[in-house]
Structure 1
Amino acid sequence: MKASADPVPGGYVLNGSKVWTSYAARVDIMFQLARIGGKGKGGVCCFLIRTDTPRIEIRPIRGVHSDWDFNEVFFSNAFVPSDALLGEEGNG
Structure 2
Amino acid sequence: MYAALAHLQTGSIQVTVGQSVKKGGVIGKVDHSGNSFGPHLHFQLMDSSDIATAKGLPCAFEKYEIIQDGEWQDVVNGIPTDKDRIRFSP
Q: Normalised by the size of structure 2, how large is the TM-score? A: 0.26
Structure with bigger RCO (C-alpha 8 Å, 6+ apart): 1
Q: Normalised by the size of structure 1, how large is the TM-score? A: 0.26
Larger Rg: 2
